[in-house]
Each structure stands twice: as C-alpha cells, then as structure tokens.
Amino acid sequence: EAGVVQSPRYKIIEKKQPVAFWCNPISGHNTLYWYRQNLGQGPELLIRYENEEAVDDSQLPKDRFSAERLKGVDSTLKIQPAELGDSAVYLCASSLAAGLAGYNEQFFGPGTRLTVL
C-alpha cells in the first residue's frame, strides 16, 4: 500500500515568490493534515481537513497561506508571498478518522523542505 505522497521534496525560492506543495493521502483516509516543522522543533498543525472541509485552520496564517482539498482526496498548500521565516519542512499526514475513536494513527509523508532566500 502506498504511503502519503508529497511533492516536491525540496524547494528553494526567493522571498516574495509564491510556492505550492502537493499531498496525496493514503487511499481511504478522509482526514488530512498539514504541519509545519521549524528546524529543531516538533511539527505544528496548520490545517486539518475532514474530507473537503477545513475543520481546524486556526493556526494557518491566512494572510499569506491558503489550502484546498477540492475533491476530498489530494490537497495543495500555498504560500504567497513567501517570507524568510517560512523556511521549514511542510509535512502532510492522513488518517482514517479524527479524534479518539480507538486511536488515531496519523501517517506522515516525507515532507517538503522549503528554503526561502
């Protein structure tokens, strides 16, 4: 079974440029998460989708970040314009269901390492 797929793996851009990341979750997983992981820290949730609905986007900087999951499957995270402080690894994860029904194992993709110059 294929895991969570993310692309690109690495991206280097200049500040003020736009950038987009793509994620394809594990088949059948209706919950999708985007995390940002700054160097030397644990991941922090940016947004969580239940199917195509964003149910937790309270930590998404909405002035420059946007995300979509139009058909409830794959998702795109966009930054426009990028700032130096956006340099981080952006992780996508998926799970069968949110919350504590049994337990909620989140499967992570390999991440996209963004460098903003």
Partner 1 sequence: AQKITQTQPGMFVQEKEAVTLDCTYDTSDPSYGLFWYKQPSSGEMIFLIYQGSYDQQNATEGRYSLNFQKARKSANLVISASQLGDSAMYFCAMIETSGSRLTFGEGTQLTVNP
Which residues contact partner 1 (rule: CB under 8 A)? 33, 40-45, 48, 55-56, 89, 91, 93, 98-100, 103-111, 113
Min dist. Cβ of residue 65 to partner 1 (A): 17
Closest CB 16 distance from partner 1, rounded Å: 26
Q: Which is nearer to partner 1, 51 or 104 (CB)?
A: 104
- Which DSSP string do the residues of the chain spell out, in sequence order? ----EEE-SEEEE-TT--EEEEEE--TT--EEEEEEE-TTS--EEEEEEETTEEEE-TTS-TTTEEEE-TTSS-EEEEESS--GGG-EEEEEEEES-SS-SS--PPEE---EEEEE-
Nearer to partner 1, 5 or 73 (CB): 5
